[in-house]
C-alpha cells in the first residue's frame, strides 16, 4: 500500500546487535511512548493499560502526516507496586518510576541484565529471554 501510494518509509530492525553500547538502531520504546501506546514500567519495558507488557512492537517510519495518540509523559505504575523489581534474580531493576526525561540507566542496570542472560549462550546457543519482570506485571493479566 505504501509503495503503491509512493510513500517514503523505513522499517527499522527489531534486533539490536550492538553488544558494546546495547543500543538498537531505533528505539521502539521511544516510538511507543511518543504516540501514546503506553509508558515505561519499573521493569524498563513498555506497559499498556490493556495488555500490560504482553505486547510485541513493530515500527514503520513513514514520511507523511498522521493522527496519533498523545505522548505519555510519566509512568502509570502504582506507587506501591514493586512486583517486577522484587522478582528479578539479579536485582537489576532500581525501583525507579519513569518519566519522559528518564534515562535507561536510571531504571535498569541493563549491562547486568544482558550479562546474566548472555550466560546461556554457551549451553542454549542464544541469550536467555528471561522476562520474569514482565510476567510479574499485573497489567494485562
Contact call for residues 47 and 95 (beta carbons, < 8 A): no
Counting contacts by CB under 6 A, is residue 47 touching ligand SF4? yes
Shortest CB 4 distance to ligand SF4, Å: 40
Q: In angstroms, rounded to a whole number, what is the distance separating the alpha carbons of residues 92 and 113?
A: 6
Place of cell 523489581: 85
Q: Which is nearer to ligand SF4, 71 or 94 (CB)?
A: 94
For ligand SF4, which stretch binds (CB under 6 A), given 41-49, 56-64, 65-73, 119-127?
41-49
Q: Which of 41, 46, 72, 107 binds ligand SF4 (CB under 6 A)?
A: 41
User: Residue 103 has which C-alpha cell?
Assistant: 534515562
Question: In the numeric block, which cell numbers belong to residue 29?
Answer: 520504546
To the nearest 5 percent, what fractions of the chain are helix, strand and coil? 25, 10, 65
Selected from 42, 46, 72, 107, the binder of ligand SF4 by CB under 6 A is 42
Instruction: Report yes or no: 103 and 91 within 8 Å, Cβ to Cβ.
Output: no
Region from 3-11, 57-65, 66-74, 75-83 binding ligand SF4, contact rule CB under 6 A? 75-83
- Considering the complex, state which of residue 31 and residue 93 has its C-beta at the smaller distance from ligand SF4: 93
Residue 141: all three cell numbers together: 493479566
Compute the residue count for the chain: 141
Please report, as ranges, the residues that interact with ligand SF4 according to CB under 6 A: 41-43, 47, 77, 81, 83-84, 88, 90, 92-93, 108, 113, 116, 130-133, 136-139
Amino acid at each position: 500500500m505504501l509503495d503503491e501510494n509512493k510513500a517514503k518509509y523505513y522499517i527499522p530492525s527489531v534486533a539490536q546487535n550492538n553488544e558494546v553500547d546495547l543500543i538498537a538502531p531505533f528505539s521502539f520504546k521511544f516510538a511507543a511512548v511518543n504516540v501514546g501506546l503506553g509508558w515505561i514500567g519499573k521493569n524498563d519495558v513498555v506497559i499498556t493499560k490493556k495488555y500490560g507488557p504482553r505486547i510485541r512492537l513493530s515500527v514503520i517510519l513513514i514520511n507523511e502526516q498522521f493522527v496519533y495518540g498523545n505522548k505519555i509523559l510519566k509512568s502509570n505504575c502504582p506507587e506501591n507496586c514493586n512486583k517486577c523489581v522484587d522478582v528479578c534474580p539479579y536485582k537489576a531493576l532500581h525501583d525507579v518510576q519513569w518519566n519522559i526525561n528518564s534515562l535507561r540507566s536510571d531504571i535498569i542496570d541493563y549491562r547486568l541484565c544482558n550479562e546474566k542472560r548472555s550466560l546461556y549462550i554457551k549451553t542454549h546457543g542464544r541469550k536467555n529471554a528471561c522476562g520474569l519482570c514482565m510476567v510479574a506485571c499485573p497489567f494485562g493479566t
